[in-house]
Structure 1
Amino acid sequence: MPDSVPFSAPPTQPALLDAEGAAALVASYAPVSVTAAVKDIGRIDAHMGRFIALSPICLISTADATGKQDVTPRGDPPGSFKVLDEKTIALADRPGNNRLDTLRNLLENPEVALIFLLPGVNETVRVAGTARLSVDPALLESMAVQGKAPKCAIVVSVRQAYLHCAKALLRSRLWSPDYVQPKGAFPSISRMVGDQIGLSEEEKKKREAATEHAYKEGLWAPIQ
């Protein structure tokens, strides 16, 4: 386990604004530009449809009935995220750790928001709407990878859709090698989680082997 935590906060906890101060701060920002104000077209047009069709990864945000939020990445080969029509998109639910944070949240609260990314492109596509689950055989079969269809799909009725500017990805230099960490900069995820929850060295090694097997054999279907 690391000897110390590399916190980067200032030496004292920051002062926080009260509700009145926060409202005054927000009001002090410059007005929204005309283009930004109208760019949400509420549907998937040809440009966003092509972007989503080529995208291999998106981030999906959900919340439970009390508003507690979760954001999770969804990755697939290009073409797996489906634009069914200009108001409907679908994404597969692939095998995971079975926490089912996204699916459980959708049982309580259908509101979702997504950001689609495309490697090498600094703009993103943002979508929001409501979601339901589907086990429609034709839809699931269209999402099959290596002959393995997902157990279900998340089908989103689009309410909001727009292209987002490149500033965040340019600032982060996401697609450049500048901040790429060398292999071995971090222990395996099994070892880090093992440190966090107090597993023995033997159990960490077992979980490392199981995770490696899952990465090789269980990306598209659960390991039996």
Structure 2
Amino acid sequence: MPDALAPRSPVLLDAAGAAALVGSYAAVSKGAALKDIGRIDVHMGRFIELSPLCLVATADASGKQDVTPRGDPPGSFKVLDERTIALADRPGNNRLDTLKNLLENPEIALIFLIPGITETVRVAGTARLSVDPELLASMAVQGKEPRCAIVISVRQAYLHCAKALLRSRLWQPDYVQAKGTFPSISRMVGEQIGLSEEDKKTAEARTERAYKDGLWAPIP
């Protein structure tokens, strides 16, 4: 990171100082304390079913965490009942960070977003994988079914206030960056891992094809 952005390492609190800091915050309000109802009610169910984007957090057995975005047309995230939801596993880069984590540690947390709405829905629980034909068929997009589904048993569920999205102005144009602000992802990763110029161009072409033809099923 450039020196202008990080002129020095920050001073960090020790355990006692951190505990004192956290203890100095105002008490949680009654509404905030009670809003986790531990199930998907009609309001959160409708929100999830209209959401095209979900952020998914998992961790491995040692606690190392991963957060990944999952995007689908509205209606693809399934509310099976008030304590069960399901997400499709669409084609990706085959790192399988989420799936591998769930093999070791079933804990999962999610944030659902809807463009234009500044509140979100937060869910946490445990997850298992499913290849149930009826479930996968219900998640098909453009005739393409997912390879598997992530089925979450809900432990925690609540509506989250708008402050973060209002501060970020996420759905406003204020901070939109022009196309070309960054090189392509294939070129940036290529530079990070030392690809040749020829290999960078090949990777760019492959990524463009995946973005065009491989959103719902792996490309050959």
Question: Could you tell me how far 1:113 is from its partner in structure 2?
Answer: 0.1
- Indicate whether 1:21 and 2:37 are aligned: no
Alignment gaps of 5+ in structure 2 = none
Corresponding residue number in structure 2 for 1:189: 185
* Counterparts of residues 90-129 of structure 1 (less than 5 Å): 90-129=86-125
AA matched with 2:109: A
Cα distance, 1:8 vs structure 2: 5.8
Count of residues in correspondence between the two structures: 220
Counterpart check, 1:171 vs 2:164: no
Which one-letter code corresponds to 2:208 in the other structure? E
The 3 A distance-change label for structure 1 pair 108 and 197 is same
For the pair 1:71 / 2:67, whether they are aligned, the reply is yes
**What TM-score, normalized to structure 1?**
0.97
Amino acid at match of 2:43: H
Query: Aligned partners of 2:3 and 2:132: how far apart in 1?
Result: 47
Q: Percent identity at matched positions?
A: 81
Other structure's SS at 2:39 match? coil
1:133 aligns with 2:129: yes
Q: CA deviation at 1:177?
A: 0.3
Deviation at 1:12, TM superposition (A): 1.3
- 1:145-164 aligned at under 5 Å gives the runs 145-164=141-160
Distance (Å, rounded) in 1 between the aligned partners of 2:6 and 2:60:
33
Query: Does 2:111 match 1:89?
Result: no
Task: Find the aligned partners of 1:115 and 1:7 in 2 and give their Cα distance.
Answer: 34
Aligned counterparts, 1:52-71, within 5 A: 52-71=48-67
User: Given the alignment of the two structures, is residue 36 of structure 1 paired with residue 32 of structure 2, yes or no?
Assistant: yes
Q: Distance in 2 between matches of 1:6 and 1:123?
A: 34
Question: By how many angstroms is 1:9 displaced?
Answer: 3.8
The separation in 1 between residues aligned to 2:86 and 2:121, in whole angstroms, is: 15
- In 1, distance between residues paired with 2:55 and 2:102? 15
Partner SS state of residue 103, structure 1: helix
In 1, the alpha carbon distance for the partners of 2:6 and 2:22 equals: 24
Letter matched to residue 55 of structure 2: L
Please give the alpha-carbon distance, in whole angstroms, between the structure 2 residues aligned to 1:7 and 1:145.
47
Query: Residues 100 and 8 from structure 1, CA distance in 2 versus in 1: closer, same or farther, beyond 3 angstroms?
Result: farther
Distance in structure 2 (CA, Å) of the matches to 1:120 and 1:145: 23
Q: Which runs of 5+ in 1 are unaligned?
A: none
TM-score, length-scaled by structure 2: 0.98
CA distance in 2, matches of 1:186, 1:123: 29
